[in-house]
Amino acid sequence: MENECINTVLKEHQVGAKDIGTLSHELLHSWQEIHGTPSSSNYHNKEFRTKALGFGLNIDRSGFTQYCSGDTPFFLFLRKHGLNPPEITAPPTHIIKSRRIKLHLYECPCGVKARIGRSVFNAECLDCDGRFTRKD
């Protein structure tokens, strides 16, 4: 009965493998919210990505989902319900280096500090009306 219901929904709504992948990704967020330890700073933290790998979803830190090859639970589910697994794309062969921005330390006369990604920073402190000066 369960399989018939799932198959009917998939066919009636023309759901594809990537739709199931997206739904699985979002369900993992729900799982982590209830049973895991969500991170406030990294939405796709190590716990999330490890759990996803267990199902055959390879999710990077930014949330991009790729699919693991082989008889993963995700691919087995798709095949069981008559869906063709999505193509496995090769991982990038080169790594794009991100440019690190140098943050400069500025301080006002009353001690308020700010790190700014500009070499020139013209600002005044609202606490003491003093100008910020570069300290590094």
pLDDT digits (tens, 9 = 90+) for 97-129: 556 668 899 999 999 999 888 888 889 999 999
Confidence class for position 136, pLDDT limits 50, 70, 90: confident
pLDDT digits (tens, 9 = 90+) for 51-96: 999 999 999 888 888 898 889 999 999 998 888 888 876 655 555 5
Q: 116: part of which helix (H) or strand (E)? A: strand 113-116
What per-residue confidence (pLDDT) applies to 16?
A: 84
Enclosing domain of residue 114: 98-136
What per-residue confidence (pLDDT) applies to 17?
A: 87
Predicted structure pTM score:
0.59
- 38 and 72 share one domain: yes
Beta bridge partners of 58: 66
Torsion angles phi and psi, residue 89, rounded to 5: -95, 145
Alpha carbon distance 50, 91 (integer Å): 18
pLDDT digits (tens, 9 = 90+) for 6-26: 666 666 767 788 889 989 999
What per-residue confidence (pLDDT) applies to 85?
A: 86
Q: Which amino acid is at 17?
A: A
- 103 and 63 share one domain: no
pLDDT at residue 36 tops 80: yes
Is residue 107 classed exposed, middle or buried when 0-12, 13-18 and 19+ CB atoms within 10 A define those classes? middle
Q: 80: part of which helix (H) or strand (E)? A: helix 73-80
How many independent structural domains does the chain possess? 2
Residue at 93 is within a domain: no
